[in-house]
Amino acid sequence: MRERLDLPLGKVAIIEMAAAAGLEQVPAHRRHPKRCTTYGVGELIRIAVAEGADAILLGIGGSATSDLGLGLLQALGLQFIGSNGHAIERILPANWPQVTHISGSLEIVTPPIFIACDVDNPLLGPRGAAAVYGPQKGLLADELESFEAESARIASMLSAYFKQPEALRESPGSGAAGGIGFGLNVACGSHYVAGFELVSTWLDLESKIAAADLILTGEGQIDLSSLNGKGPYALAIAANLAHKPMILLAGCIEAPAAEQLHREFPNCTTAAITPEGCPLPQALADGPDNLQNKTAQVLQQQTQQ
């Protein structure tokens, strides 16, 4: 795996962003990208460096944040100065309008950081972090325009401070996980690696697909953002190339995404596990049972075909 992904020899620290800044870490009533930070991810990076990591592999799926990685960079030593001339104690998108300039530097020398990323969204625009993933994290429709404008302003400020081109915001994957890859790329020169390729290599997925009669996979919600390179979509491509049938289970499935999946992959069947009309809190509480029941149902249907 090291050779294929160009990871250096030595100790590789594997950090899962969702363990520190994941959506599931935040109670439902407190979820909002303006109030969530990647600071904890920065703390994990500091620990990895202190433990002598020669490289860091950062998985960035499932985040609750959309802070361009500023919280992480603050944990590493960067300061964000407010209009009162003092450093903001904890940088959050909610207090971005107060930021007049950036100060300080990173307190540690980071080893090469490789970001495992499934999607190819840019930072800004209609396919950007806020527009595509903000609503999943609690951003309201009438907040999008101002949030996008502040994201652009802060991104420009960060690029200028580290003397990096603003074009980095257009890099595929810079909009993943609320732009954390953008922040790390600008400040630390991080590298993106394809998340699915990483997992596929690690698990020798190609041989497992070849040996399988049927492939089961899933995601919390299947929508058009799922088709931007996320794991289930990449698996559907691999299953289609191997001429293997696949069943994709999800809590809910939006019709446009299901239609596109069926057009592209005739061997792919989609199945929503949540009973019709079930409110979200109940669906989440009953998720394991709903998954078990729907899986049993679709497998029985499969054997009868």
Task: Break the chain into its structural domains and give their ranges.
Answer: 2-195, 205-304
Angle subtended at Cα 65 by Cα 59 and Cα 66, rounded to the nearest 5 degrees:
105
CA proximity to 274, closest of 287, 255, 261, 257: 287
Residue 208's pLDDT band (boundaries 50, 70, 90)? very high
| CATH number of the structural domain 2-195 | 3.90.1510.10
| CATH numeric code, 205-304 | 3.40.50
What's the pLDDT tens digit per position in 232-258?
Answer: 888 999 999 999 999 999 998 989 989
Tell me the percentage of the chain whose pLDDT exceeds 90.
Answer: 65
> Element (H or E) spanning 231, and its range?
helix 231-241
pTM: 0.78
| Cβ burial 166-200 (10 Å sphere, 16+ → b, else e) | eebbeeebbbbbbbbbbbbbbbbebbbbbbbbbbb
220 pLDDT higher than 70: yes
**How far, in Å, are 172, 194, 300 from residue 167 at the CA level?**
11, 20, 51
> How much is the pLDDT for 2?
58
- Strand-pairing partners, residue 102, are 80
What tokens appear for 92 in the block? 């959050």
Using DSSP's 3-state secondary structure scheme, residue 219 falls into strand
pLDDT of residue 86: 96
Share of the chain above pLDDT 70, in %: 96
* Cα gap 51→111, rounded to integer Å: 12
Residue 74: partners with Cβ closer than 8 Å, 6 or more residues away: 39, 42, 80, 90, 91
d(CA 78, CA 297): 53
**Confidence band for 301, pLDDT divided at 50, 70 and 90:** confident
Residue 250: what pLDDT? Answer: 93
How confident is residue 8, by pLDDT bands cut at 50, 70 and 90?
low
pLDDT tier at 198 (50, 70, 90 boundaries)? confident
